[in-house]
Amino acid sequence: MDGVINVAATRSTHTTLPDGEYPIVHDKMILLRPLTDEHLLEVYHEAVAMGLSAEFIQLIEEAIRSRNLDPKTSL
CA dihedral for 7, 10, 11, 17, sign (positive or negative): negative
Q: Taking a C-beta distance cutoff of 8 angstroms, is the pair 58, 25 a contact? A: yes
Whether the full predicted model's pTM is greater than 0.75, yes or no, is no
Tens of pLDDT, residue by residue, the chain (75 residues): 444 433 333 343 444 455 555 456 667 888 888 899 999 999 999 999 999 999 999 999 999 999 999 988 765
* CA 25 to chain CA mean position, Å: 6
